Structure 1
Amino acid sequence: MSASPNNRAGGSGGTFTPLLLGVLVMISAVAVVQVKQHSRNLTTRLDGQRQERERLQLEWAQLQLEQATLAQHGRVDELARSQFGMVDPLDYQIVSEVPAPGVPAVMGKPQ
Structure 2
Amino acid sequence: MSRVHLFMLLLVVLCALGVVTSQHQARKAFVALEQEQTRQRQLEVEWGQLQLEQSTWAMHARVEKIAIEKLQMQLPDAAHMQIAYAGKSAEVQP
TM-score range, shorter chain: 0.7 to 0.9
Q: TM-score normalized by structure 1?
A: 0.70
Whether 1:88 and 2:75 are equivalent positions in the alignment is yes
- After TM superposition, what 4+ stretches of structure 1 lie above 6 angstroms from structure 2? none
Q: What stretches of structure 1 of length at least 5 have no aligned partner?
A: 1-13, 95-109
Matched positions, count: 83
Mean Cα deviation higher: 33-42 or 14-23:
14-23
How far did residue 77 of structure 1 move? 0.4
1:1-111 aligned at under 5 Å gives the runs: 15-93=2-80, 110-111=89-90
Look at both structures and tell me which one has the larger radius of gyration over its CA atoms: 1
Root mean square deviation of aligned Cα:
1.6
Q: What stretches of structure 2 of length at least 5 have no aligned partner?
A: 82-88
**Percentage of identical aligned residues:** 30
